[in-house]
Chain A
Amino acid sequence: MKLLLVLPILLPLVTALVMLPFRERSGVQRGLGLGASLVQAVVAVALLSRVYAGGILTLQAGGWAAPFGITLVADLLSAVMVAATALIGLTTSIYSLGSIDRERERFFFHPLMQLLLVGINGAFLTGDLFNLYVWFEVMLISSFVLLALGGTPRQLEGSVKYVTINLLSSAIFLSAVGILYGVAGTLNMADLSARLPMIEQRNLLSVVAVLLLVTFGVKAAIFPLFFWLPASYHTPPVAVSAIFAGLLTKVGVYAIMRVFTTVFTGPESEAIFRILLWIAPLTMVVGVLGAAAQYDLRKLLSFHIVSQIGYMLFAIAIQSPLAIAGGLFYIVHNIIAKTSLFYISGIVRHKTGAFQLKKIGGLYSTEPLLAALFLVSALALAGIPPLSGFWAKLMVIRAGLESEHYFVTAAALVVSLLTLFSMTKIWNEAFWKDDPGVIKVTDEAHGNGRTALLYLPVVMLCGVIIFFGLSFEPVYELSARAAGQLLDVESYRNAVLGGGL
């Protein structure tokens, strides 16, 4: 049963390695990628149900007991994130079958996608700060190559910005880990949570906390550190920017959630939450205002990623069980809605030949299904009932009111309105207004069979959005239990340290 814990990491890794000899045979690579993603989804569901039923799962690699060896831990938070990753991995591997060109496939697009999933799943499952660093790097190097793959000037320029800021944040992360080891003498998260309250050098711990916030903040694109995101996410092919948009920033949010709830529990966390209460509304507002100025579909959506991160930070900063549950639900909902919107932008580009809103129009009459799918995703993002975003937002805002953070809650409500406005802008420009007839370069190379491959993932994700919206009860149950487990550091510690082997 412990195997279940390594499979989310091992499976994509092995798949990637098996794919490598088949460079010239893209058919084999595609089949392997799709098959592995399907198995991955099954594994993730099994892991989630197992953790839901039996509590926190731990695995000590090589049989080395907890603080000394490498620990893998899956509590409900990790399991939910792994499940979301598997869903996005599955849909993206379907989507990439219909949209990635042969040349990129020859240069190992599919293995890189699997390696990206290795890094993301590793980051979710690790129980050790240094391993978190390592998984971050695995994730980053795959994302660097995916971003630059194809080598158009715009891609390269976006990559330069993305790579530089991420290498800088890695150096900061490494420094923070070094200082923390010097102060506490351990890097195991459970062990740290037990030892940190006894440490006397509080000022050093504050330094570490802020350094970690900066590192994860860069990854999560929080307010002053987000500028790389809209500069790079719109340059690669849609399949790549969709998986980036869905998952990469959320790994940063997950790290913030994990480190400042499980590892730091004392005054350092309090200080970080006070900072987050300022950063959260700024992130929301700046993101949505940045989006308002954009007319490039993917850049507009990129700014919305930033804006939505603000809600998650707000939820983390409140720290009540309801807020954490809402934040977790929000993360999952956002992963799904955001990825779906990026897929839709790819279909729009496929049908009309452009991402610029000014150049496209009239899609409502020619593509009614696409219009419907866009409405579902966009209204979910804006938080219109009965879609998933409404419940997520409701939980976060209710928690905000209960904890009397009226200013931030007001900002969250106003930003919701602006998000709705922004989505209406896309609707008006791309779907409602008459086709300006500027360009019509529909790629004839893509047949109808491949268009179906583009639609299928969006239909799947919209189905999940509607399911979440309509059957709120079990989803709430799950996120509430995950939040309870996350806030109960004692049981996490016991599961990791007490179990021995």
Chain B
Amino acid sequence: MTFLLALITGLFYAAGIYLLLRRSLVKVIFGIMFLGHAANMLIFSTGRLTKGAPAFVPEGAQALVEPFADPLPQALILTAIVIGFGLQAFAIVLFRRSYEELGTDDVDAMRTTDRIEQVGGGES
């Protein structure tokens, strides 16, 4: 189980970085999503993995009984997922809008803001 999770996390990171390095905006957004999920999986696996042992204090006991999975990382992931979804949704809209406005989804073609000086353009 741990091995599988490690493998998946690694694959997510690899896929995310690979896609981010592509030139198409669609692939970039997929890359960002994969990276976000990879980070979530990483946090998930740091909280120890248990099967069928919910993090509840049993009746009569004062504290959690081993073995239990740390619930805090899961709370962190929950927050991170929500934030990630929000940002990704915004990024999708933004990338779509820029595709419409700029007429391209090729990152290499987006160079006007990097040029040293535009003699004609440069409106606010």
Contacts and interface: CB of A to CB of B under 8 A. Distances in A.
B87 A170 contact: yes
Contact of B38 (A164, A167, A171): A171
Nearest to B46: A182
Nearest to B91: A163
Nearest to A181: B46
A144 B28 contact: no
Nearest to B75: A130
Nearest to A237: B124
A154 B94 contact: no
Given A160-B25, A167-B32, A354-B122, A134 B79 contact: yes
B70 to A, nearest CB: 8
Interface string B67-99: 000001100100110010011101100110110
Interface string A155-180: 01111110110011011101101110
A349 B114 contact: no
Interface string A230-260: 1110110110000000000000000000000
Contacts of B35: 167-168, 171
A177 B98 contact: no
A72 interface: no
A158 B111 CA distance: 9
Question: In the complex, which of the residues A159, A174, A354 has the most CB atoms of chain B within 10 Å of its own CB atom?
Answer: A174
B124 A238 contact: yes
Interface range on chain B: under 10, 10 to 19, 20 to 34, or 35 or more?
35 or more
B79 to A, nearest CB: 6
Nearest to A180: B46
Contacts, number: 127
Nearest to A167: B32
Contacts of A182: 43, 45-47
Contacts of B123: 152, 154
Given A137-B87, A179-B46, A158 B36 contact: no
Contacts of A137: 83, 87
B41 to A, nearest CB: 9
Interface range on chain A: under 10, 10 to 19, 20 to 34, or 35 or more?
35 or more
A151 interface: yes
Interface in A262-294: 293-294
B43 A178 contact: yes
B97 A156 contact: yes
A52 interface: no
A316 B38 CA distance: 32
Interface string B8-27: 00000000100010000100
Given A234-B113, A355-B124, A160 B36 contact: no
Interface string A383-399: 00000000000000000
Contact of B113 (A148, A161, A178, A237): A161
B32 A171 contact: yes
B122 A174 contact: no
Contacts of B39: 171-172, 174-175, 178
A466 interface: no
B117 A296 contact: yes
Nearest to B35: A171
Contacts of A231: 113-114
Contacts of B83: 134, 137
Nearest to B107: A160
A231 B28 CA distance: 18
Contacts of A294: 116-117
B76 A181 contact: yes
Contacts of B90: 141, 144-145, 163
Contacts of B46: 178-179, 181-182
A19 to B, nearest CB: 20
Contacts of A141: 86-87, 90
A214 interface: no
A356 B32 contact: no
A25 to B, nearest CB: 25
A446 to B, nearest CB: 13
A432 interface: no
A130 B98 CA distance: 32
Contacts of A134: 79, 83
A178 B118 CA distance: 44
Contacts of B43: 174, 177-178, 181-182
Contacts of B20: 164, 168
B107 to A, nearest CB: 8
A420 B45 CA distance: 52
Contacts of B79: 130, 134
Contacts of B91: 163-164, 167
B112 interface: yes
A163 B86 CA distance: 13
Interface string A187-208: 0000000000000000000000
Q: Which 7 A-B pairs have the closest CB atoms?
A: A182-B46, A178-B43, A174-B39, A171-B35, A156-B98, A178-B42, A175-B39
Given A175-B39, A178-B39, A356-B117, 6 more contacts: A140-B87, A141-B90, A167-B35, A170-B36, A175-B38, A356-B122
23 contacts: A133-B80, A137-B87, A141-B90, A144-B90, A145-B90, A154-B123, A156-B97, A156-B101, A161-B113, A163-B91, A164-B32, A164-B91, A167-B91, A174-B40, A174-B80, A175-B38, A178-B43, A178-B73, A232-B113, A293-B116, A294-B117, A295-B116, A355-B122
